[in-house]
Every structure is written in C-alpha cells, then in structure tokens.
Amino acid sequence: MSKPAPLLALNWKMNKTPAEATTWATELASHLPRTGAELAIMAPAVDLSALAWALRDTAVALGGQDVSQHESGAHTGEISAGMLLNVGARYAVVGHSERREYHAETSGVVAAKARAALTAGLVPIVCVGEGLEVRERGGQIEYTLDQLRESLSQVSIDNAGALVIAYEPVWAIGTGLAATAADAEELAAAIRGALDGLYREYASGVRILYGGSVKPGNIAEICAQPNVNGALVGGASLDVASVVAMAAAL
C-alpha cells in the first residue's frame, strides 16, 4: 500500500480567543500554499465555530483537543464527540501527555475516549510517548507500545482504518529538543508493527504522526521517514508564517 497523505495537525493548546482565531484563520486562508498534506487545527472548543466559518472555503479541517468518553448527560465541563462534530470538527486529540500528566488521564480513559470518538464518527488522534527517564534507560519502545496497546484496547478492527496515532516523546514537547528523524522513525516503525499485530491489513492505512518541537526547519526530514505520516505541532502552530512554511515543506 502507498504511503497515506500526510496530516499536519496543529495543537493550539490553551491559546487564542474566537476573535484571535478568526484573524489567524483569515490570514492563513489568504496564504495557503500548495501542499500534499491535509491541514487540521486542534483548537480550543470555543474557537471551533468561528474557525469553521472563517475557513469555510478551504479544505482545512478542525478538531478538538480532547473529547468526553460519554455521549451526554451529567458530566460538567466535558464536551462530547457529537458536539464537536456538530460545530464542524473532524478530529479529536486524545491522551495528549499534558492531559495524562496534569489531568490524571489513564490509558484506560484514553481508550474509552478513542472509542467514543470513533463511534460518533470523529477521528481520534491518539497520543503516546515516553518521558525522559524512560528514554534515558532505553525503554522507549516497550513503554510506548504498552501505552499504545492499552490506549487502543477499546478500538476494534472495524474502526481501525480511521485511526491516527501521534508519537510524542514527552521530553521533546515544548522543549525545542525534537527527536532525530531516525528516532522518530524507529518508534513509528515499532508502532506500525504493533498496529499490524492488532489490526492486520488495516495497519498500513493508519497515519502515524510525530510530535515534539516540530518546526519549519525539521518537518521535511522527519515526515520523509517511511513510517511517519505527518506531524502534530504545538508551539510552531500559533504563527501563520510557520504553518505556511511547514505545509509547503510536505
């Protein structure tokens, strides 16, 4: 099977009001480069309606930064997959390391969120990756694959083709210290192997992103690796010129 088209997923984290998002998106729309990549903005939920309107004449997709494992009801503060779809989202990040670390999100919860997203028709971007201490003792493959299998424990083979996985080593997020292209490929290949075991022929269609200090200067080399199908970008996603440069590099 040929390599799936790359996905450039922008994680704005807790940045930009709806007015700021509109200004940003209007500027992006007038500078969109030719790119072989799909572009998607993982925005704060309050920005999604404004972005859907500002980007209505473009192919830029939208996503949430999290999604509830529940469909509806007494879950104060949560946002369901159906609600995200309703405001125009196609994706939802699940299991970002900041949610795992600061919001006590276990891989069991991540698995339930991935299932809820897929059931509703949203594409989950399931994040996995080791911390510095694990990397320093050389345990990154085992750690990341354990986290992956647990985080996908509620995703059946019927839904597997729609999955996106993001390999995000925690030590590379927001530090300016990106993994090398070879390190990103080593883990992406290991993830692909684990997906083969879980989902057989569907594994080759799953997009595996790399995330962690991606910027215009390193995106092309990392995404050219055989098992890397795009990037999840935090800091560099806030600036239109950087996003244009990264999209143009893919």
Number of residues that bind ligand PEP (CB under 6 A): 13
- The smaller minimum CB distance to ligand PEP, of residues 40 and 198, is found at 40
Report the sign of the C-alpha dihedral through residues 75, 79, 81, 83, in that order: positive
Both tokens of 127, joined, read: 């994040």
Q: Give the one residue of 55, 61, 125, 214 binding ligand PEP; rule: CB under 6 A.
A: 214
Give the separation between CA 22 and CA 192, rounded to whole angstroms.
37
Least separation in angstroms between residue 108's CB and ligand PEP is 21
**By rule CB under 6 A, what string of x and - marks binding of each residue 44-63 to ligand PEP?**
--------------------
Residues 143 to 202: which contact ligand PEP by CB under 6 A? 168, 173-174
CA angle 77, 75, 158 (to 5 degrees): 105
**E strands, the chain, in order:** 7-11, 38-42, 61-64, 91-94, 123-128, 164-167, 207-211, 230-233
Are 134 and 100 in contact by the 8 Å Cβ rule? The answer is: no
| Contact window for ligand PEP (CB under 6 A) among 16-24, 33-41, 216-224, 234-242 | 234-242
Residues 3 to 22: which contact ligand PEP by CB under 6 A? 11
Q: Which residues are catalytic?
A: 96, 168
Residues that bind ligand PEP (CB under 6 A): 11, 168, 173-174, 211-214, 232-236
